[in-house]
Amino acid sequence: MALMTLEAVSGTVLRVHASGPEAEAALNELEALVARKFDIPDEQ
């Protein structure tokens, strides 16, 4: 939830770090979510 409240505008560069046994998987999933634009439908 905290990630959704960053209020970063388009083009903002974010650096994210994770640690722990599932860190790589978590970062990969986060990257995929951002690439999908947080699953928010495009406005028509």
Q: Which of 5-9, 18-22, 35-39 has the highest mean pLDDT?
A: 18-22
Instruction: Tell me which of 2 and 20 has the higher pLDDT.
Output: 20
Tell me the percentage of the chain whose pLDDT exceeds 70.
84
Left if phi > 0, otherwise alpha if psi is -120 to 50, otherwise beta: which for 7? left
d(CA 44, CA 4): 23
3-state secondary structure of 4: helix
* Residues comprising the chain, all counted: 44
